[in-house]
């Protein structure tokens, strides 16, 4: 829900710029450039900053796919970054992978000879 509100505000700003600068001032080139700048800044801010904050704090929506051949074990938050643990039964390896804001800083921890599904 918060994500939809965010995009409604961005769209409202774009429409306001087009109406006031383009319609009232008759500066359509300036209005179009301003609208594109607002869209690029809005998309960048969402992708690189707001997406995981919305998901963690306000119940937003985010999709992460488990790599082919791996089994999902757990997921946890560390600050505003999502850490996901998957298990590869072929190589008997566990992977902790970090999904940071904008996927700029991706951490990965590999645990070899890890078999969490084996009961002893």
pLDDT, tens digit, 9 for 90 and up, residues 42-92? 999 988 888 888 888 887 777 888 889 999 999 998 887 888 999 998 888
* 64 contact partners, CB below 8 Å, separation of at least 6: 82, 84, 99
At residue 44, the pLDDT reads: 92
Mean pLDDT of 5-14: 94
In whole numbers, what is the pLDDT of the chain averaged over residues? 86
Confirm whether pTM is higher than 0.85: no
**Each residue of 15-42: pLDDT tens digit?**
999 999 988 888 899 999 999 999 999 9
CA-derived radius of gyration, the chain: 21
């Amino acid at each position: 829900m918060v994500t939809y509100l965010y995009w409604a505000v961005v769209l409202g700003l774009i429409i306001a710029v087009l109406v006031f600068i383009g319609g009232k001032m008759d500066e359509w080139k300036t209005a179009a450039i301003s609208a594109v700048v607002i869209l690029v800044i809005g998309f960048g801010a969402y992708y690189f900053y707001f997406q995981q904050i919305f998901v963690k704090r306000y119940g937003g929506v985010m999709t992460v796919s488990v790599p082919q051949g791996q089994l999902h074990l757990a997921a946890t938050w560390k600050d505003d970054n999502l850490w996901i643990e998957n298990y590869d039964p072929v190589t008997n390896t566990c992977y902790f992978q970090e999904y940071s804001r904008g996927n700029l800083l991706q951490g990965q921890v590999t645990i070899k000879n890890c078999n969490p599904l084996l009961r002893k």
